[in-house]
Chains A and B, each alone.
Chain A
């Protein structure tokens, strides 16, 4: 253990070199860019474009969880909360934008018998403000919750189930109709995106391309981060937090910073996801969905950014296909997949292809 931490901290960490030395991430970034260009040049059927865009959003979400779980040893079973924050703020922007252009109030506002949007919706028709608000809100919630948890050294399984309770409570909250956020029906029927009609081929392609480009940027950025000095500290913290603290590093500040960053990336995924599916409702806050994010990461390969992306795309691709083809069988397949991966392929499916640049010191993340 001690040797591992010291090696981790002492290893030369030229960020650029390490980024290049991860061909999987480099390949995936390249693939994203190529796919984005491909979609622009020769767009396939809109539903396929839409599927690609959704998968990219899920992949971003998976990367955000892998950052804290794979590299920091913090398993969040409540990442759906940050995804939902991004999604909800994005939906609010789309509706407010629609009201500003068309003047028609959304269904749920009429349903509640209100004459206008609630006061806290003010200014949300401005896209830039909504974007900043979504990220800031996710960061703030993550900061408060993270500060409370990390300061009192709540970690491991404890942290996981408390984060699960957090997302569960948020779900109960959003199921209420008087929150002004659509209640159990959620928000849907977005008319416009930046003035263009929702669902037109151009908008669909644009959203998918935006998601792909964001994924590429997030992947590259995350790779730079974990390859940097901070990344070395993250690994050290994951493998022996007490020792790192004894060495004089503030692990609370480190964990808090990465945790908030991860939450904001998850919110970004939510922002990209909602306009593509055209709806947001409290079901994205179901604890099961948050666990599924961890499942993507575990299946793809924990502690490998590329693994998270592959896992998210693989599981969700399978889910798109199988939950339509054989809805009864899908839960069995998913649970079987999880058990096989957890028991037989502890490093995820990357084990299958013999991808084993596996450091011996991943213990803290399990």
Chain B
């Protein structure tokens, strides 16, 4: 086996020397004769084609591909001289392989491929398919064939295929294969160059690939190789660590955004009315279902604009959930004013009702969303860190929500009323503010914010009736930590809780992260029972 491999490698080197880098035409007649020759001649012809593949003109490749295909399918007939292409196996007439002129196929022998010849012919066909395949599927099929015998494929073939490739994923695959081939190349200089090339585009896969080379015999015997590998590995490791750090920050930020949106409404309502809305998670779920409704409406009425449904859902979800919230306030919570503990039970009943209503009417399965281009995929930024659009959408959405809510609270008459009633309800009422109406509108605003969180969740989480309970406890913790009725406190607490969760999770697991965050909050409340940013109240 080792002998054969060495012979093969020698052949490769020989072939590399024989064929200069310029686009040399192949000797078509000799190639046809080779394929019609004995087993050794067939292998020589096929392997020669693979070695020369990177430099051959496209029409030569197509010619060789036609012949190889015919040989593999037993449509190649070999008379005493030249070669014939048949339309189907066993046909009586064919065309001359070189000139294309019709010739009778009588007395011609149709060669049968042995195991070794078949492998060589397959590799050659794969090379042709990779270089001249009309579509990515054909080219990637060719690549799949080559992958099995990548050591015999010269770099020039892969380089040419990579440079000509138009399909991005396939291009990346080819580049990866070319790198792998170069890393195991017998030429030390080429290997070092390949190591540098791998290190230039760091990723977790690159790190693993380089780390695997440490067990290579050359690592112990060749000091230059060892230095190159150590330097490359150090560089990649550092870059991967930075990339992972960026990914953690990014994920923490997106988790914090979701938490903030879920908690902002809670905090406003709690600050104003002293009511914790246990149905807030279900309001988020309603927002997601409203988004689904908008998507279905677009599908029916304006399929061409389907990609825009996520944007159109923003006002719809806000409005619909705000209306539900106002309804809940008017029907139920209004009567529980000054009975905050009972309002906990009442809102829990509302959440139980909503979950089961959706379960019965829509079903328990996860909803299927069409992902518009602007929330699918992402852009690789550094090492393994990919900035995914769906999370960026959530972050941007949360930022916009924050700005808008702050504007409402600080710059509108409603915001002024809400702040006044939050600070001193009795005095505000004495001054003639309709505190009950302010309550209702604020409850609508807080519920609407939950609806918006539902929209932002659609591209990230699975949407089903029970989704609200998943992070509701986290958003309660955000409210408790952030302090009553302070949007800035909610923001800081959301970033803190989200960041802590994402930071601790990789070290000690998701459950430990939750435990540590909860213990941290309880300890924190020892120092500041009112939360981070308590609104000063006038009593």
A and B are interacting partners: yes
- Using CB atoms and an 8 Å cutoff, list the residues of chain A in contact with chain B: 69, 75, 77, 145, 148-149, 151-154, 156-158, 160-162, 164-166, 168-169, 172-173, 175-176, 287-288, 291, 294-295, 298, 328, 331-332, 334-336, 338-339, 342-343, 346, 363, 365-366
Partner pick for B346 among A153, A328, A331, A339, CB 8 A cutoff: A339
A161 near B352 with CB under 8 A, answer no
Partner pick for B525 among A75, A154, A166, CB 8 A cutoff: A154
Residues in chain B near residue A346, CB distance under 8 A: 339, 342
User: What 6 pairs across the A-B complex have the smallest Cβ distances?
Assistant: A366-B339, A338-B349, A335-B349, A335-B353, A331-B356, A335-B352
Partner pick for A287 among B341, B345, B360, B473, CB 8 A cutoff: B473
Partner pick for A291 among B276, B348, B525, CB 8 A cutoff: B348
A156 near B511 with CB under 8 A, answer no
B529 near A153 with CB under 8 A, answer yes
8 A-B contacts, Cβ less than 8 Å apart?
A156-B341, A157-B270, A164-B476, A165-B477, A175-B511, A291-B348, A343-B346, A366-B339
Tell me, in angstroms, the Cα distance from A334 to B348 when the chains sit together. 11
A157 near B345 with CB under 8 A, answer no
Of chain A, the residue at the smallest CB distance from B509 is A176
Confirm or deny: B526 has a beta carbon within 8 angstroms of a beta carbon on chain A.
Answer: yes
Interface string of B334-377 (1 = CB under 8 A from A): 01101111101110111011011100100000000000000000
Within the complex, the shortest CB–CB distance from A140 to chain B, in Å, comes to 16
Of chain A, the residue at the smallest CB distance from B476 is A161
B336 near A342 with CB under 8 A, answer yes
Within the complex, the shortest CB–CB distance from B279 to chain A, in Å, comes to 10
Question: Which of B8-16, B190-198, B201-209, B515-523 makes up part of the contact surface?
Answer: B515-523
Confirm or deny: B274 has a beta carbon within 8 angstroms of a beta carbon on chain A.
Answer: yes
Confirm or deny: B438 has a beta carbon within 8 angstroms of a beta carbon on chain A.
Answer: no
Tell me, in angstroms, the Cα distance from A338 to B346 when the chains sit together. 7
Partner pick for B276 among A151, A161, A335, A342, CB 8 A cutoff: A161
Confirm or deny: B105 has a beta carbon within 8 angstroms of a beta carbon on chain A.
Answer: no
Given contacts A172-B514, A291-B348, contact A365 B480 (CB under 8 A): no
B352 near A334 with CB under 8 A, answer yes
Confirm or deny: B332 has a beta carbon within 8 angstroms of a beta carbon on chain A.
Answer: yes
Partner pick for A160 among B276, B349, B510, B515, CB 8 A cutoff: B276
Of chain A, the residue at the smallest CB distance from B352 is A335
A154 near B529 with CB under 8 A, answer yes
Residues in chain B near residue A332, CB distance under 8 A: 353, 356-357
Within the complex, the shortest CB–CB distance from A1 to chain B, in Å, comes to 13
Q: Main SS of chain A's interface residues?
A: helix
Given contacts A160-B276, A335-B350, contact A173 B341 (CB under 8 A): no
Tell me, in angstroms, the Cα distance from A345 to B137 when the chains sit together. 70
Residues in chain A near residue B526, CB distance under 8 A: 148, 151-152
A339 near B349 with CB under 8 A, answer yes
Within the complex, the shortest CB–CB distance from A68 to chain B, in Å, comes to 12
Residues in chain A near residue B335, CB distance under 8 A: 343
Q: Main SS of chain B's interface residues?
A: helix
Within the complex, the shortest CB–CB distance from B426 to chain A, in Å, comes to 15
Residues in chain A near residue B278, CB distance under 8 A: 291
B522 near A149 with CB under 8 A, answer yes
Partner pick for B341 among A149, A153, A162, A366, CB 8 A cutoff: A366
B473 near A168 with CB under 8 A, answer yes
Tell me, in angstroms, the Cα distance from A342 to B345 when the chains sit together. 8
Within the complex, the shortest CB–CB distance from A169 to chain B, in Å, comes to 5
Residue from B349, B350, B360, B479 having most chain A Cβ neighbours under 10 A: B349
Interface string of B470-482 (1 = CB under 8 A from A): 0001001101100
Residues in chain B near residue A152, CB distance under 8 A: 525-527, 529
Residues in chain B near residue A365, CB distance under 8 A: 341
Partner pick for B345 among A154, A165, A168, A294, CB 8 A cutoff: A294
Residues in chain A near residue B510, CB distance under 8 A: 172
Of chain A, the residue at the smallest CB distance from B475 is A161
Of chain B, the residue at the smallest CB distance from A338 is B349
Near A by CB (< 8 A), chain B positions 468-518 give 469, 473, 476-477, 479-480, 510-511, 514-515, 518
- Apart from A152-B527, A172-B515, A176-B511, list 10 A-B contacts with CB within 8 A: A148-B523, A149-B525, A151-B526, A158-B480, A164-B476, A165-B521, A295-B348, A335-B356, A339-B346, A343-B336
Near A by CB (< 8 A), chain B positions 129-162 give none
Residues in chain A near residue B274, CB distance under 8 A: 156-157
Within the complex, the shortest CB–CB distance from A29 to chain B, in Å, comes to 28
Within the complex, the shortest CB–CB distance from B521 to chain A, in Å, comes to 8
Within the complex, the shortest CB–CB distance from B272 to chain A, in Å, comes to 13
Partner pick for A157 among B276, B355, B469, CB 8 A cutoff: B276
Tell me, in angstroms, the Cα distance from A213 to B525 when the chains sit together. 41
Residues in chain B near residue A343, CB distance under 8 A: 332, 335-336, 346
Within the complex, the shortest CB–CB distance from A199 to chain B, in Å, comes to 33
Tell me, in angstroms, the Cα distance from A267 to B473 when the chains sit together. 24
Near A by CB (< 8 A), chain B positions 519-539 give 521-523, 525-527, 529
Residues in chain A near residue B332, CB distance under 8 A: 339, 342-343
Residues in chain B near residue A77, CB distance under 8 A: 344
Residues in chain B near residue A331, CB distance under 8 A: 352-353, 355-356
Within the complex, the shortest CB–CB distance from A42 to chain B, in Å, comes to 39
Interface string of B94-107 (1 = CB under 8 A from A): 00000000000000
Within the complex, the shortest CB–CB distance from A315 to chain B, in Å, comes to 12
B348 near A75 with CB under 8 A, answer no
Residues in chain B near residue A166, CB distance under 8 A: 518
Tell me, in angstroms, the Cα distance from A365 to B338 when the chains sit together. 11
Of chain B, the residue at the smallest CB distance from A343 is B335
A295 near B515 with CB under 8 A, answer no
Tell me, in angstroms, the Cα distance from A69 to B278 when the chains sit together. 18
Residues in chain A near residue B477, CB distance under 8 A: 165
Tell me, in angstroms, the Cα distance from A158 to B526 when the chains sit together. 13
A173 near B342 with CB under 8 A, answer no
Within the complex, the shortest CB–CB distance from A226 to chain B, in Å, comes to 19
Tell me, in angstroms, the Cα distance from A206 to B168 when the chains sit together. 73
Residues in chain B near residue A339, CB distance under 8 A: 332, 346, 349-350
Residues in chain B near residue A148, CB distance under 8 A: 522-523, 525-526
Given contacts A157-B340, A328-B360, A366-B342, contact A165 B352 (CB under 8 A): no
Residues in chain B near residue A154, CB distance under 8 A: 525, 529
B341 near A157 with CB under 8 A, answer yes
Residues in chain A near residue B344, CB distance under 8 A: 75, 77, 157, 160, 291, 294
Within the complex, the shortest CB–CB distance from B526 to chain A, in Å, comes to 5
Within the complex, the shortest CB–CB distance from B511 to chain A, in Å, comes to 5
Residues in chain A near residue B527, CB distance under 8 A: 152
Tell me, in angstroms, the Cα distance from A157 to B266 when the chains sit together. 13
B522 near A173 with CB under 8 A, answer no
